[in-house]
Amino acid sequence: MKRNFYIGEGKEAKAAIDAGWAKVQVFRDAGNALLNGMPEGTKLCSRDSGRGIIIGFGIQQELSADERARLGLSPDVPRPDSDGKHIPTYKPNSRSNNGKELRKRINAVNRLHTTFSKEVIAALGIDRWCHDGSKVFMSSAGCTDTALLVSIPGSPDDGQSDKFPDIPDFLREVKESEFLAAQGR
């Protein structure tokens, strides 16, 4: 499917970048607050290689039954850490009051989950989903230190049910080669 590529620079692009990262940071900060009261060195376990919703905790040592009860945790399958070494992981124990409370806190944090791309696309009003057979393509956004990078599927006259969005003035259309070069590829 054809894609349209845009690069935004200047104060409007910087504002969109900063706003997108601010929303992502709210989720990250809320997640890090879950670590309060956990053993030293505890890491959050999440889906999608650390970019998704929080599912539990990675703790470098095995916890005793008393520690697990106090924290509201139950053992989960060991998962690899950043070095590839498998470490014990724990999830909220839904049979204990502490575990139920921990699950509520995790669920509250997960409701804040977002991505940079999702926030920028929504803020700029340039969301678009296109279907090509069984494949679905959607608008996406990324950034470098100085530029906002946006990719939108389809074209204004492609007959898709999702109309092509109005592009903000600060985004200039570029060829795919310039878009990839801005990404450092």
Give the position of tokens 């969301």. 127
Q: Of 50, 52, 100, which is closest to residue 73 (Cα–Cα)?
A: 100
Among 110, 130, 162, give the residue marking a domain's end. Answer: 110
What is the pLDDT averaged over residues 140-154? 94
18 & 31 share domain: no
Percent over 70 (pLDDT), the chain: 98
120 & 168 share domain: yes
pLDDT band at residue 117 under the 50/70/90 scheme: very high
Domain of residue 135 covers 3-22+115-183
* Integer angstrom CA distances of residue 19 from 14, 26, 123, 124, 158: 8, 11, 9, 11, 31
Decide: residue 185, CB within 10 A, 0-12 exposed, 13-18 middle, 19+ buried. Answer: exposed
Amino acid at 20: G
d(CA 37, CA 45): 16
Percent over 90 (pLDDT), the chain: 77
41 & 89 share domain: yes
pLDDT tens readout for residues 82-108: 788 899 999 999 999 999 999 999 999
pLDDT band at residue 49 under the 50/70/90 scheme: low
Among 86, 110, 134, give the residue marking a domain's end. Answer: 110
What pLDDT sits at residue 50?
56
What pLDDT sits at residue 88?
92
